[in-house]
Amino acid sequence: MNPNAAASVNWAGVMPAVTTPFNQDDEVDYAFLFEHCGWMVQQGVSGIIPCGSLGEGATLSFDEKQRVIDTVVRAVGDRVPVIPGIAAASTREAARFAATAKVMGARGLMVLPPYIHKGPFHEVETHIEVVMEATDLPCMLYNNPIAYGVDFSPGWIASLAQRNERFQAVKDSSGDARRITAIHSLVGDRLALFAGLDDMVVEAVRQGAVGWVAGLVNALPYESVLLFDKAVCGLEDPAVAREADRIYKWFLPLLRLDCVPEFVQLIKLVQQEVARGSERVRPPRFPAVGHLRTGALEVIRETLASNPIQDVEENR
């Protein structure tokens, strides 16, 4: 790997929160992970984020996380940065993971609140700062108040940006596009802002987001990158903006699968339907069953059958 490639991260574009594939024995399928990440890079993604929520990071051992990072780094080489999600039940464990990720070839980190813990804000604040201090890699903060029970306000984010130069980006999964506007009004271009939910990407771009940490991209990377690029170009060209809206309208039934509690199972189900993975998840999760599965399959198959994007297969 080019040693200069690790010097910085271009915080922009579509970065998959990559799913973690498992085999029938509940072991990580590293061979498929390698192939899958290489394929998504070929489709135009700008980074890979392993070990996050969609990657079932909470179920992975420390050793598995390290091997996942190593596998993804080898798969993508210098082409795009690998930016693992950093989360653990304890600050000590998260800081340890942050400190070792660079050794495995990571070029940035996505820092999450601690698992399980729902204490006062000053405890979570300290956790985030300790983890960021454990590395010299650039960091993205992951704000997901619905999932993690803590909300990093725009004012606190702006304050952290003043105190820590390694803090360079925010993934916002609040579901409120006004957050993008509020943060941007406080920090300008100091931080790169990313949409963190699939069904808010176009709104987020129009409010100032420059990137998208995406989920359905695991199954449909070409369509995801095309949608994002048209949303960005549409800021200056009304005709392109209308094209972005057309693609978005078609894509939304699938993108909304990213925004429910069973998002891991459902995104992996989409992967299975397009022959780009398996729906296997690691317990305590189980693949979707009953009405959830039936309804999801109906949405998935109807949406895929009406794909309006021409020449997709030729570009894969």
pLDDT digits (tens, 9 = 90+) for 259-300: 999 999 999 999 999 999 999 999 999 999 999 999 999 999
Q: What is the distance between the alpha carbons of residues 16 and 214, in angstroms, rounded to a whole number?
A: 5
Annotation marks residue 171 as catalytic:
yes
Annotated active-site residue 148? The verdict is no
Distance CA 142, CA 41 (A): 23
Residue-level pLDDT at 310: 58
Domains and CATH numbers, the chain: 9-226 (3.20.20.70)
Q: What is the pLDDT of residues 65-108, one digit of tens each?
A: 999 999 999 999 999 999 999 999 999 999 999 999 999 999 99
Nearest Cα residue to 14 out of 50, 53, 49, 56: 49
pLDDT in tens, 106-148: 999 999 999 888 889 999 999 999 999 999 999 999 999 988 8
Q: Are 271 and 278 in contact (CB under 8 A)?
A: yes
| pLDDT at residue 313, rounded to an integer | 44
Distance CA 6, CA 12 (A): 16
DSSP string, 207-257: TT--EEEESGGGT-HHHHHHHHHHHHHTTT-HHHHHHHHHHHHHHHHHHGG
Q: Could you tell me how many residues make up the chain? A: 316
For residue 147, what pLDDT is reported? 87
Taking a C-beta distance cutoff of 8 angstroms, is the pair 172, 143 a contact?
yes
Which pLDDT score is estimated for 124?
95
On the CB side of 118, CA atoms within 13 Å amount to 6
The answer on pLDDT for 314 being more than 60 is: no
> Rg of the chain over CA atoms, in angstroms?
18
Q: Which CA distances in Å does 155 have to 10, 114, 129, 161, 207? A: 24, 21, 16, 10, 17
Check residue 166 and give its pLDDT: 96
- The structure tokens 């509690």 sit at 261
CA 189/CA 253 separation, integer angstroms: 32
165 pLDDT more than 60 = yes
Q: What percent of the chain has pLDDT over 70?
A: 96
Question: What is the CB neighbour count within 10 angstroms for residue 126?
Answer: 11
Kind plus residue range of the DSSP H or E element containing 39:
helix 30-42
Least confident residue range of 7-11, 45-49, 212-216, 237-241: 7-11
- In the prediction, which pLDDT does 160 show? 98
For residues 59 and 65, what is the distance between their CA atoms, to the nearest angstrom? 10
Which position among 171, 222, 230, 268 bears the catalytic label?
171
- What's the pLDDT score for residue 119? 84
Residue 135's Cβ-count burial label (10 Å; 0-12, 13-18, 19+) is buried
Q: What is the pLDDT of residue 215?
A: 98
From the list 142, 148, 230, 268, the catalytic residue is 142
Secondary structure E strands in the chain: 13-16, 85-86, 109-111, 139-143, 167-172, 192-195, 211-214
